[in-house]
Amino acid sequence: MPTFITYDGTELAYHLQGDGEPLVCIPGGAMRASTYLGDLGGLADGRLLILLDLRGTGDSAVPADESTYRVDHQVGDVEALRAHLGLERMDLLAHSAGGNLAQLYAAAHPERLRRTVLVTPTAWAVDLPVVAEDRLEGARLRAGGEPYDTAIAAYERILGDTAHGEEDWELAAPVFYGNWDATARAHWAANARQQNEKAAEAYAGPGAFDPPATREALRRVAGEVLVLAAELDGNPRPALAARLATLFPRGSVDVQPRAGHFPWLDDAAWFADRVERFLAAGA
């Protein structure tokens, strides 16, 4: 397991999968160990995946100053990894909440990115929040059968801030996946041991974002950016993903059919082919 020392002396780990041109991968969660990304639906067949464990997650050390869990402080970690790898420019993939870290990195270091893939990303960094109705719109696309009707009802209780408990999160889990099969159930169950909850609470804390400045800085990103949404996902809905893509001079959007928030699990071949085609030849 390779490691490197980042800007504040914290030792961070990353994991290598596959062979080929390197692709730096930022996990979401927020603050979930990178192991949940797996081989990204077989993307490792043609790429060397460099899967970063964010500070305090997976095999990376807990920082001396835990206020650095805030996402803007982690931009320096991504830049330290790039320098450690000796990459003048890099291809970057970020998932979900990790999309905010990628957006902040792009704003700070636009010259270091070749092509960027944002997979079902949140976009708090540019003030494109997902509201409850967006989330429910995606969930309700599966209405009319079980376990989805029960899951939707539980999700409505959670998002409506009505009386709910941990059991409602377990009931709601199917709405986050396109296929609620054994793979999805195991993937969901692993989250509890893979996520640093304390770090997740700090990730988007006060002061983390300056959306006007970030939007302005993203205009300097010369590399191509693909925002990959999923048809059945509510976080974000495809329309919001399209709005995020417009903030980049060379941004584009695509939507994976019949997929949820973890699209590489729902149709691995579609996902890996689409991402590889973009990385190889652009939009």
Where does 128-267 have alpha helices with state H? Answer: 132-139, 148-159, 166-172, 182-194, 197-203, 211-218, 238-245, 263-266
Taking only the tens place, the pLDDT of each residue in 234-247 is: 999 999 999 999 99
Taking only the tens place, the pLDDT of each residue in 222-234 is: 999 999 999 999 9
Taking only the tens place, the pLDDT of each residue in 110-147 is: 999 999 999 999 999 999 999 999 999 999 999 999 99
Answer whether residue 259 shows pLDDT above 80.
yes
**pTM exceeding 0.95:** yes
Structure confidence at residue 86 (pLDDT): 98
